[in-house]
Structure formats: structure tokens, C-alpha cells
Structure 1
Amino acid sequence: MTRALAGPYATLLLAGLGAEVIKVEDPRGGDLARENSPYVGRDGVTVERAHADDVSISHLSRARGKQGVSLNLKAPGAQQLFQDLCRNADIVVENFTAGTADRLGVGYAAAREANPAIVYCSLSGFGADAPEGGKAMDVIIQALSGAMYTSGDPDAPPVRMGIPIADMLAPVFAVIGILAALEQRHRTGQGQHIDVSMLGALTSFVAIENWAALAAAGMPARTGLTVQRLSPFGVFECADGYVALVAVHEKLARGLFQAMGAPEMSDDPRFASRDARVANAVALEAKIAAWSRTLPTAEAVRLLEAQGVPAAPVRHPEEALTDPRVMARVETMAIAHPRYPHQADLRTSGIPIRFSEARTGFDETLPIAIGEHNRQIYGDLLGYDAARLEQLAKQGVI
């Protein structure tokens, strides 16, 4: 019972790991992601939906491997269908705002009544115990977590991360919690409620750095493209782009100075030890930048790698998604509109985990229409006959 990104990404991960996922959508519009631009269809990729069977690329990506049913949770009788689904399920995932699932009669108590062994995961902005009505989107969580002030130059405005990091990070924790709860159930037979907060998930990552300690030591927290407390470490401008490099340890620093054609920098008291390089990071980074700006990115990378210094060009996302290494491991994968598969070359996320005795991947199922698999789920799985399905549809329940 999820929509938008955080919840659907959690269930997407479970689908890729082999779960049979049933996506429950409101028949009066379905998942919010269905309306996300751009779309793909008979005309290729478009900003606006031009045809009824155009599909949002967001939905195409996030609904992979899932069957879809429609269920109006506000309609009388919907709670009975929900409980019937729970009797046939191992896991329920919902990402309503706190309190909404209980108010609708589809919270953990209702699921547990139907199936005491159910593993029920609530994924919300501020936690299931937060006051009801606290809505959260990724940008709100980035703002509240402090993450926006961990990047950028010291005097720059806050920096919004270009990927929806809160929406993606919280569901990873949700899946970890679900799998741990399943393992506990294998031992005890008991289900339980898992509660994951987007704010808590992202703030826990921000907290891996001790910002108070940095301030007490007089070390700036925001240093732009580099991390001065690890200097030299970060991104430097080249003649045609940017290079990322790491030369934290003594051997790497000497390799960097050699690549720069300035081995004598190893004897400079300002750069002769790790602590000295950190203390003089501004001067050191200025010298590195003066060198890198004279070179094409590929040449800077070649010189650094020849000296054993970890280095890489800073790539645009389109290029990164087609890296042969990630493609070979199916960490990114192709997606296509099921009716117009050759209209666009699209790539999206895979499952970045490999197993020696299993494989990951997605079934071919995808709910293009809202309630596309009502007959299979309500009929074949739950045993509802055609007359009952027709009546539920007339009543607006499905």
C-alpha cells in the first residue's frame, strides 16, 4: 500500500529479490507516480501525456515485477478485502502519513488480526509515532536532516542533493528491517511492526560525521568540492571537465606530487606529512588545481593512475548508467513500454546485490492499468467469484 517513491522503492527491492508483490492502488487515480513527467509511449519520450496508453517512466521503473489491484480504502467493505489479502501475505508495506493506516482500518492491528505472523512495515517521514498529518517529501527531509549544509562552498546556499536520497535511503532500511523480522519469525513464529522514519534514516547518515568535533577543532564543515580534513581528497577542475582523486596517505600523496611533475613537494614542510597537508589544505589544493586545469580530464586520470593514485573522471548520469561494469552486473538495466518497446532507450536501477546460489531480477508483470490484476488476485488467489467482483466494482470498492 505505497505510492510515490519511498514505499514503491522498498517493494521494488523486494520484488527484485524474488518476492511476489501485489501493489494496492486507489481506483480513483492510482499511484501518484503515474502522473510524473516524462512519459513514454507510441511517440517515444514526451513531457506531456499525449495518448491514453502513455506511461510515466517513473511508474514504468517503480512498478516492475508487481501485480496491481485496485482498492478504495475509504469504501465500506474495503477492510475485509485488506484482511483477506493479509491472510495470504507475509509482508505488508505502507507509506501513508503517521496514523492514516490505522484511521482507514488497515494498520498493523488489523493486519495482525487477520494474520498474527504478518510482518508489517510502516515507512513515513517522521515515524509511526509522529503526530498525524506530518507530510514529508524528499526535499523536506533533506532540509530537516542537515544534509543540505554538508555539501557546497562555505558561503554558498544550501545544496539539494540531485537524487532523492531520503526517498531512496529510508526504503533500504525498511527492507533490512523486513528481512530481519522474517528471520526472527522463522525462529519464533511471531510477526511484528517495523517503523522506519525518512528523517531518522537520512539524519543517521549525516551523523556519521561528528560536526560538533569539527567545529571545536576549527575545521570547516563545508569545503565545496574537496574534503580538507582528508586533503588531498576531492574533485578538481580540468581543462574539459573534472577529476576526482584521493591521495590521503603518504604513498598516495607522493604519487600525486610525482604525477604533477613536482616530486619536491614531498620535502615542503607544509606537505611533508598527513597532518601538515590537512593544516595547509587550502595552499595544497590551490597547487593541485593549478596543475589539473592545464590538462584534459583523461590525461589527468592517466597520469594519476600511472602513479597508483585513485582517480576518475566526473561523469554525467547518462554515461554512468551505461558503464560496462554496472551493465554486466545488471546494476542498471533496460526498461521499455510493453506495447512500444523500441520507442526509447531507457535505463533504470537493477538490484546491486549478487548471490552465489541465487539470482535477482524482475518478473514481466507490470500494472499498466489501475487494477490490472484484480481478477488474478481477488479471483484466483482469494477465491472471489465473478458475481462478487462485479458487485465490489459497482460499489466502488475496487
Structure 2
Amino acid sequence: MSSPVRGPLSGVLVADFSRILAGPYATMMLADLGADVIKVEGPTGDDTRTWTPPVRQVAGTGVATYYLSLNRNKRSVLLDLREEADAKLGRELARRADVFVENFKTGGLARFGLDYQTVRAANPNVIYTSISGFGAGAGAHVPGYDLMVQAISGFMSLTGSPDGPPTRAGISVVDVLAGNNAAIGILAALRHRDATGEGQRIEVNLLSSALAGMVNQSSAYAAGGVVPYRMGNEHPSVYPYEPFRTADQEMIIAVANDGQFRNLCRVLGVPELADDPRFLRNGDRTVHRTELRPLLARRLRTRTSGEWFELLVAAGVPSGPINTLDGGFAMAQRFELDPIVGVGDGERAVPTTRNPIRLSATPVTYRNPPPLLDEHGPDIRAWLSR
């Protein structure tokens, strides 16, 4: 079907029946690692094709940058599963696939013969991955969207100013967590299948991903019986670990141990603070943060964030300016991380954010731009019909 790809997942066929973010993010990660991902779309395509603005002109057509962010290295086929001929092709794709990924409502694929039991009967070695909002049990009927789960999980209660309202994260962070969890589960299942020949079912849900992703905050409740609360940009257990105003803008100081604090005090010209009993240990600093904060703030206002960044990083103190996104990309470029890579050629070329995984022997590849709706449909349908 496609030219050989050198990658750790080359030869792995993924039937991608997912849409929007969590599922497509997981399958794009697999595609970047060499898997052959066939993106199955209904007549109107993935919802994110219409999530605009912003848009990028690709081959004379305005395409949602949201869609472009999640679908490189895939091939698209339009299958209207309500039509038996297309449902039959969908079942044939599932029969041939190594990995099947879906995020339909629980039970929604059964009427097309694409539920786990039916697919497994035809393809016993399949790795069948379901992504839902709230699992396949009592929450199966509840639709799952990132903002809902940020609210329901308690995530929003931890985000925002202490005297302000609960606030959503600036990205669909729970979807990304769930997508990463799905990709990790798939890789583990592929390893198990390599060792035993057995396929299996993977279930990932947004609520569990959110609770696990809140790590120390979730542990505060699960292990300590403490319900955390909004602290704005402060950290409940570490200080100083928050923004400070400099001569030109705010920057982050993130001191995680006593040695870093001593270096901070030295660079700021107040070395005596490191020996003050109130600030000697991290626990002391956390308790006495309201006393320490103005002492640090007074010194930090004497230079710009850029000047402090150079001095503090040279001294081993974690810090950095609070950038807008263009500044973040510029910093990554400064550090030779090459954050933007081009995918495709000519009028189909699309700049895309680099995959964060670097492999020395089997590097990530950027083979194909995000596909147009049904771009590869004729070839895929012909292949499935043979």
C-alpha cells in the first residue's frame, strides 16, 4: 500500500476511527514513529476540520490549524458507516489492522460490527483501543469533552487566582494527557504481542487521565486527605516557585532545593538570606513565603528579565521570562531544538511543531502533510476490496 518507512513502528497498520483531539493525537504519535495510520472519516470529516479560526491556506484552501496540528503522516479515507458497503470496508480494515483506535460513544460502533468483540473475533491479535470521557461503566452515557473534564475532575478548581473563579487551562490538556496515555498503552500492548502473539483491549478515559495527571495534587487528597485549593502561580510545597516582576516584565523563579536558593541569594546580592533561620530549608521558606517574597522582589526589580535569566541560569538557578508563544518558539530555536519542521512540498507544504521524542537509531519522520478529506480514499478502498 505505501512505501516502506524506517521507524520503530514501521509495518504496524493503525485503523484510526477517532476524531477531534485525544485519539488523533495518539495516532499521530504512532504515525510519527513509522506506523501506517489510515484515518477513517465520515462524510463531513473530522470535526476539527471546521474549528476555525485560525486557518492556513493549503493548496488554495483554508484549512483549520487545529486539524493540521493533529493529523500529519496519516492517510484519509471517507467511509459512511451508515452505508453497508462502507461499513463492510471498515470491518475489512479492522480485520487487517494491528491497532484499532476509536472514541465513539460507548457501544456506538456495535451497530456497524466494529465493536471490540466483533473485531476481535475476526482479528484475534488486534490491539483495540477505546478512548472515552468517563469509562465504559456507569459514566458511559456521559459525553466527554476536555472542558467538561477539567471542571468535573477538579482541575479547574486548582487553576486561576485564589480570589478569582476556577479557570480552564489554555490548552485541552486532559485530551493531550489521554492521547499520550493511549499511545503508551498501545506501545505496551505491541510489546506484549511481540512476546506472546496476543492482542488485547485498551481503555483510556479522560477523567482518569485528569486525576492521574494532577500527580501531587491528587496524591494530597488520596494519600493525605487534603483537598488542594487555587494558589494562582504559587506552589503548595516549594518556595520560591512563582513569577516575580523585574525591571521590564515578569519572570519565573523556580527554586526546588536549598542549594539553588543559596545560589539565588548570591546572584541577587543578598547572600545573608540563605542563612536566615526563616529561610534555611525549603519547608521554612514555604511557611515564611510572605516574609521572603518582598525581599526577593526588591532585588529582582533592579534588572531586566533577560539580564537575570543569563545570570541565574549561569548560577544553576531555574528561571525564565514569561513569554508569549512566539517567544517560546524563539527560545527553543535559540537552544537548537528546531521546533518547527516542514511537512510536504510545494503548495501542500505545512509548517508543523516538531515531535518532542528524539531517537538516535530510528528517528521520527515527517513524511506526509495532514491529508485532505478522502485524499487517499480511492487507493484504500481498492486495497480493501481485494
TM-score range, shorter chain: 0.7 to 0.9
Offset, 1:201: 0.6
The match for 1:59 is 67
Change in CA separation of 1:59 and 1:222 when aligned onto 2, cut-off 3 Å: closer
1:173-230 CA-partner distances (Å, limit 9, x unpaired): 001111111111112222111100011111112243333489878x974322222521
1:357 to 358, 361, 381: 361
Offset, 1:336: 7.3
Within 5 Å, give how 1:239-278 maps onto structure 2.
Answer: 239-278=247-286
Offset, 1:57: 1.6
Offset, 1:337: 8.8
The match for 2:13 is none
Change in CA separation of 1:42 and 1:207 when aligned onto 2, cut-off 3 Å: closer
The match for 1:315 is 323
Within 5 Å, give how 1:169-248 maps onto structure 2.
Answer: 169-209=177-217, 210-212=219-221, 221-248=229-256
Amino acid at match of 1:249: N
Q: Do the aligned partners of 2:177 and 2:213 also contact (CA within 8 Å) in 1?
A: no
1:119 to 112, 127, 133: 127
Q: Do the aligned partners of 2:80 and 2:87 also contact (CA within 8 Å) in 1?
A: no
Cα distance in 2 for residues equivalent to 1:239 and 1:3: 46
1:18 to 34, 37, 61: 34
Amino acid at match of 1:139: L
The match for 2:380 is 377
Q: Do the aligned partners of 2:130 and 2:203 also contact (CA within 8 Å) in 1?
A: yes
Cα distance in 1 for residues equivalent to 2:343 and 2:248: 32
Cα distance in 2 for residues equivalent to 1:25 and 1:309: 49
Within 5 Å, give how 1:124-135 maps onto structure 2.
Answer: 124-135=132-143
Q: Do the aligned partners of 2:177 and 2:209 also contact (CA within 8 Å) in 1?
A: yes
Cα distance in 2 for residues equivalent to 1:141 and 1:307: 41
Q: Do the aligned partners of 2:332 and 2:339 also contact (CA within 8 Å) in 1?
A: no
The match for 1:395 is none
SS of residue paired to 2:299:
helix
Cα distance in 2 for residues equivalent to 1:144 and 1:113: 36
The match for 2:175 is 167
Amino acid at match of 2:364: T
The match for 1:36 is 51
Cα distance in 1 for residues equivalent to 2:178 and 2:188: 15
CA-atom RMSD, angstroms?
Answer: 2.6
Q: Do the aligned partners of 1:83 and 1:110 also contact (CA within 8 Å) in 2?
A: no
Identity %: 35
SS of residue paired to 1:24:
strand
Change in CA separation of 1:131 and 1:302 when aligned onto 2, cut-off 3 Å: closer
Within 5 Å, give how 1:58-97 maps onto structure 2.
Answer: 58-97=66-105
SS of residue paired to 1:358:
coil
Offset, 1:144: 1.3
Q: Do the aligned partners of 2:34 and 2:364 also contact (CA within 8 Å) in 1?
A: yes
Cα distance in 2 for residues equivalent to 1:216 and 1:88: 48
1:4 to 1, 7, 20: 20
Change in CA separation of 1:329 and 1:70 when aligned onto 2, cut-off 3 Å: same
Q: Do the aligned partners of 1:215 and 1:221 also contact (CA within 8 Å) in 2?
A: no
Offset, 1:4: 1.0
Q: TM-score, normalised by structure 1?
A: 0.84
Change in CA separation of 1:282 and 1:336 when aligned onto 2, cut-off 3 Å: farther
Cα distance in 1 for residues equivalent to 2:241 and 2:335: 28
Unpaired segments ≥5 residues, structure 1:
44-50, 385-398
Amino acid at match of 1:112: R
Pick which of 30-39 and 147-156 moved more: 147-156
Cα distance in 1 for residues equivalent to 2:19 and 2:335: 28
Change in CA separation of 1:76 and 1:144 when aligned onto 2, cut-off 3 Å: same
Q: TM-score, normalised by structure 2?
A: 0.87
Q: Do the aligned partners of 2:159 and 2:166 also contact (CA within 8 Å) in 1?
A: yes
Offset, 1:30: 0.8
Q: Do the aligned partners of 2:343 and 2:367 also contact (CA within 8 Å) in 1?
A: no
Change in CA separation of 1:99 and 1:90 when aligned onto 2, cut-off 3 Å: same
